């Protein structure tokens, strides 16, 4: 499976996959058009990146990067990882993760973070198979908090 870094011209493809992901799991999406516009702004700046798998793309990983006082290199947050339903179980997610880890290591990234819902044990197992662990490696619950400061556009 070919996995490549998305270019600005790929924004509509990344947006469509992200929109489909949210729709599949009954989460809010402002729509592919709004996501495309946001990606066209964010991708060139380099702090938001995406990996695409396949041609045409059947998988996507969306990442954000930030400096962190605790590490020499940047910290990546894997915001989303999605493979279209009919292509799951074929190693596409693994190909994306392997490319991500290899490139991040080569680029001096210090840490990759992922948030996974507590009840999503299949996704937890997937990441654990690829060397990810909770906190200090213990199986402890962690909580993600958020506070929306501005209403979502297109909600």
What total number of domains does the chain contain?
1
- Cα–Cα dist 125/19, whole Å: 25
Residue ranges with strand state E in 2-152: 3-5, 48-53, 59-66, 75-83, 111-114
* pTM for this predicted structure: 0.90
- Residue 106 is predicted with a pLDDT of 97
* Mean pLDDT of each 10-residue bin along the chain, 155 residues long: 97 98 95 98 97 98 96 96 97 98 97 90 94 73 78 62
Which residues make Cβ contacts (< 8 Å) with residue 151, sequence separation at least 6? none
Domain of residue 74 covers 3-129
What CATH number is attached to the domain comprising 25? 3.40.630.30
Q: How many CB atoms lie within 10 A of CB 59?
A: 22
Residue 88 domain flag: yes
């Amino acid at each position: 499976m070919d996995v490549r870094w998305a270019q600005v011209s790929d924004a509509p493809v990344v947006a469509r996959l992200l929109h489909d992901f949210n729709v599949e799991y009954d989460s809010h999406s402002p729509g592919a058009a709004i996501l495309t516009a946001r990606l066209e702004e964010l991708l060139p700046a380099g702090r938001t990146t995406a990996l695409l798998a396949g041609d045409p793309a059947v998988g996507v990983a969306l990442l954000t990067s930030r400096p962190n006082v605790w590490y020499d290199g940047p910290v990546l947050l894997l915001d989303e990882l999605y493979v279209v339903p009919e292509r799951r179980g074929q190693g596409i997610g693994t190909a994306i993760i392997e490319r991500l880890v290899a490139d991040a290591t080569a680029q001096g990234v210090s840490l990759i973070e992922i948030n996974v819902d507590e009840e999503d044990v299949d996704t937890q197992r997937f990441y654990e198979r690829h060397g990810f662990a909770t906190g200090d490696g213990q199986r402890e619950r962690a909580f993600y908090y958020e506070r929306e400061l501005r209403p979502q556009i297109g909600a």
